[in-house]
């Protein structure tokens, strides 16, 4: 999940959506809105996968922090 801003999204360029299982780096699904050169697609997929891993790490850290906060509040 990497979110484009309004300007990027409305520029009319191709968009690629992917869902990935971060623990195995398995791509679960992908969807592309229009054509793009294979080289650009490969680069886009690499960046999207890196972004998924980064966001997963942020989510994991946030959830752990919240669980510890709730646990310590007891």
Q: What is the pLDDT of residues 35-64, one digit of tens each?
A: 889 998 999 899 889 988 888 999 999 999
Check pLDDT > 70 for residue 2. no
Whole-angstrom distance, CA of residue 41 vs CA of residue 38: 5
Whole-angstrom distance, CA of residue 55 vs CA of residue 20: 11
Ordered DSSP codes for 18-44: EEEETTTTEEEEEEESS---HHHHHHH
Q: What is the pLDDT of residues 5-25, one digit of tens each?
A: 788 778 877 888 889 998 888
Whole-angstrom distance, CA of residue 58 vs CA of residue 63: 9
pTM of the model: 0.72
Per-domain residue ranges of the chain: 6-72
Whole-angstrom distance, CA of residue 53 vs CA of residue 21: 9
Check pLDDT > 60 for residue 1. no
């Amino acid at each position: 999940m990497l979110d484009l801003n309004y300007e990027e999204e409305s520029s009319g360029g191709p968009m690629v959506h992917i869902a990935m299982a971060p623990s195995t780096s398995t791509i679960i699904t992908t969807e592309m809105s229009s054509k793009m050169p294979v080289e650009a697609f490969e680069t886009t997929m690499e960046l999207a996968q890196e972004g998924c891993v980064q966001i997963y790490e942020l989510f994991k850290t946030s959830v752990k922090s919240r669980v510890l906060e709730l646990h310590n509040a007891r």
